[in-house]
Chain A
């Protein structure tokens, strides 16, 4: 048997897009190695039969549903370990995101399995799955092959496309799990809190994004002035570093645990270009980066790189654009 087990995260009654990508990917790859794709869901009442069986539309043939705490890794590890013990899956596949990393790694420990994270491509080779992972700031690609009964693949966010098929409905199976004592040591106090203003950036044609290089919260004034100079459908975006620091609202965050965007223009000021930021903006049509460090990774994937001090460049650029537009 060469079945693939995926985990599907949900929040407020809706499945996570990257999890659905994992189901689609799992179904396609399982088929190539003669197996099926199953999914695990863990949560409360909102996991209705109807919702769970709808995963069939993405290619899952069976959904294992367990009652348990949502949004934490340990309970899911317990459930997946049990399902794998009972059914003997050959691979566990995750769609990226924070929880997928934690569950996949914990499951690897529990099942003495190999694990590869940040995977951008999975393919079948001689009846087995191999995983490709970019390493060293995406300058090389490494290929993982698995030994043993179970291989764990954690995708990079947005790596797996969500594919729907007609008329699919998955069988829903309830699983009873005795949670490990240490799974009960953690409880969710508040989940999915939005911090700061509720700004809408997803529909913007132009995004002017600021990072830690702005130096201080007030640095965002420079970014906002430039956005105002562009005018029209322009919005301001941010990195996690500055959102975590409280400089800018979470709703403006781009990246792995923020939004994925593809505007006509993405102008990044004082942003290093970490992979977790890149995954949220790399499909922008045009990317300009302003960074004082010529070796900043963002220059590897920008169309126009400007090596210089944003404090000098941003105000002058805003003036020049305003002048152009006025004239």
Chain B
């Protein structure tokens, strides 16, 4: 079985995210990292391999993004992927969710995976939906937010929380599964794995190499145009207490509660 894991490079959690007023796109400069949610997807692939219920021949990490996104791939292989693919092309810049999912699906199609795993959300885009887009293009079933996944008779038994409680769904492969962050505790890469990461095969592919229709990607190919960025209605900022002396802090909280007749 071959597993492809979708990973993304995102601004580091500590970096303040903003819209670049000149381009109307997310300002992606500054410190970057592998999307933390994607480390759960890589870990899930590793656990399927180590679980032994099915033989995993290869785990391939795939990202779409600019030059710098390569670092997310290095991190992904240090966490266990065997090789990685970097889909990068100026023509892809500015793609919306649907266009991004389409482009990724084309790169995936040339890999013919039995299972595609991805994270529950990207830290910057927060669309929760790339998996569903990719799956429809690949003509595979898809589930998102999966928090438990077992291989059973060549199928996956998946659990997740949906609108009415926990659902258990049996999915026959090939399939696209996005995993929630409760699914596992990702391991830390060993120093050896970090050092070895650059030696594992990394292939760069352009849009044309995987048959992406240029009319369906990039800002011009996207069906949604985002703009008119503005501030939400202002809300009066709340009061903030830094806890230095806890008895003082507690007194302040109690006073605040009393003032509002909450105790």
Contacts and interface: CB of A to CB of B under 8 A. Distances in A.
B182 interface: yes
Interface stretch (A163-171, A216-224, A302-310): A302-310
Interface string B222-245: 111111111110010011111100
A304 B161 contact: no
* A interface majority secondary structure: mixed
A241 B182 contact: yes
A97 B250 contact: no
A264 B161 contact: no
B263 A230 contact: yes
A114 interface: yes
Given A141-B232, A244-B161, A185 B181 contact: no
B241 A190 contact: no
A186 B249 contact: no
Contacts of A324: 254, 258, 263
Nearest to B224: A114
A186 B98 contact: no
A248 interface: no
Nearest to B232: A141
Contacts of B235: 301
Contact of A189 (B157, B225, B231, B247): B157
Nearest to A312: B246
Given A97-B163, A288-B253, A186 B169 contact: yes
A187 B170 CA distance: 5
Interface string A118-155: 10000000000000001111111111111110010000
19 contacts: A112-B223, A114-B222, A115-B223, A117-B127, A143-B228, A148-B223, A182-B135, A185-B140, A191-B168, A230-B263, A250-B161, A257-B161, A265-B257, A265-B260, A286-B260, A301-B235, A304-B241, A308-B249, A320-B251
Interface of A: 9, 11, 16, 18, 71-74, 77, 97-99, 101-110, 112-118, 134-148, 151, 180-183, 185-195, 206, 230, 240-241, 243-245, 250, 257, 264-265, 275, 286-288, 294, 299, 301-309, 312-313, 316-317, 320-321, 324-325
Interface of B: 17-19, 96-98, 101-102, 105, 126-137, 139-145, 147, 157, 160-173, 175, 180-182, 216, 222-232, 235, 238-243, 246-247, 249-251, 253-254, 256-258, 260, 262-263
